[in-house]
Amino acid sequence: MAIYGIRPVAEIQFDGFLYPCLDQITNHIGRMRNRSRGRFTCPLVIRVPYGGGIHAPEHHSESPEAILAHTPGIKVVIPSTPSEARGLLLSSIRDPDPVLFLEPKRIYRAIREEVPEGDDTIPLGKARMVQEGKDVTIIAWGAMVREALNAAEQLKGDKIEAEIIDLRTISPMDVEAIVASIRKTGRGVIVHEAPKTCGLGAEIIALINEKALLSLQAPIERVTGFDIPVPLLKSEHYYFPNPKRIVMAVKKVMSF
């Protein structure tokens, strides 16, 4: 359908069900432009309810963004608010290439806000400055942006001003926004739901080391899920990052 000019918007019911689809996504959808030497594109959006925080059973709380971002030929978008979701979804539908649109499940009902009408799009590949600060940069996406905001509010009591960057698009990533903020603050904390090992936090640290190493005043810290399967149901709160863990990481980099 996408190759013949239609712009389909598909949905996969839960993130854990995405894995059986990876053959089509990685071997066909993501390769179509390259395979046809630019004669065909595949303007397809795949919406995927993503992440944890709703006390779900197995296969319903996965965070596969690192796997998807490692796949050439597709874009990966993760909104953090309803208005961001609207603007990013419009841009995704209009994009000439395939987009994986990951929707954090825990914010489906957690946030209510006015959503602009009209043709207000948000460009893909551009991060959002959630709040400015001078002491430390917190980089997050999806539901973790709210956790970062809650942590930043607590840090004000210690006179620590945190700058928060919402990546919004995981692939392609807004490297310029990350580097500019790190050069400003000299310290960084990366927050994501997925396990730490081989997660996107490691890639972001590598990018910072390549482009802003001499600006760092402390090693970058990561606050992530653990390297285990997501616990089931009400046990999941032990697994996911929370403001307390973020505050501890910030204080660690501030005391270096």
Average pLDDT along the chain: 93
**Residue 109 has what pLDDT?**
79
**Residue 156 has what pLDDT?**
96
Residue 4 has pLDDT above 80, yes or no: no
| pLDDT, greater one: 178 or 109 | 178
Reported as a pLDDT band with limits 50, 70 and 90, residue 177 is very high
Mean pLDDT, residues 215-244 taken together: 92
Residue 36 has pLDDT above 90, yes or no: no
| pLDDT, greater one: 156 or 230 | 156
Active-site residue (options: 28, 55, 60, 70):
60
Reported as a pLDDT band with limits 50, 70 and 90, residue 253 is very high
Contact by Cβ (8 Å): 84, 168:
yes
Residue 40 has pLDDT above 90, yes or no: no
Residue 130 has pLDDT above 80, yes or no: yes
Mean pLDDT, residues 1-30 taken together: 87
Count of alpha carbons within 13 angstroms of residue 79, beta-carbon side = 25
According to the 3-state scheme, what is the secondary structure of 208-228? Answer: HHHHHHHHCCCCCEEEEECCC
Residue 154 has pLDDT above 80, yes or no: yes
Mean pLDDT, residues 104-108 taken together: 90
Count of alpha carbons within 13 angstroms of residue 100, beta-carbon side = 34
The region of weakest confidence among 29-33, 101-105, 141-145 is 29-33
According to the 3-state scheme, what is the secondary structure of 114-134? Answer: CCCCCCCCCCCCCCEEEECCC
Reported as a pLDDT band with limits 50, 70 and 90, residue 115 is confident
Q: Using CA atoms, how far apart are residues 114 and 133, in angstroms rounded to an integer?
A: 26
- In sequence order, the β-bridge partners of residue 61 are none
Domain architecture of the chain: domains with CATH: 9-107 (3.40.50.970), 128-254 (3.40.50.920)
Mean pLDDT, residues 177-204 taken together: 97
Tell me which residue has tokens 């995405």.
18
Is-catalytic flag, 192? no
Q: For 59-99, write each residue's pLDDT tens digit.
A: 788 899 999 999 999 999 999 999 999 999 999 999 999 99
Using alpha carbons, select from 7, 2, 67 the residue that is nearest to residue 29.
Answer: 2
Using alpha carbons, select from 100, 93, 76 the residue that is nearest to residue 167.
Answer: 76
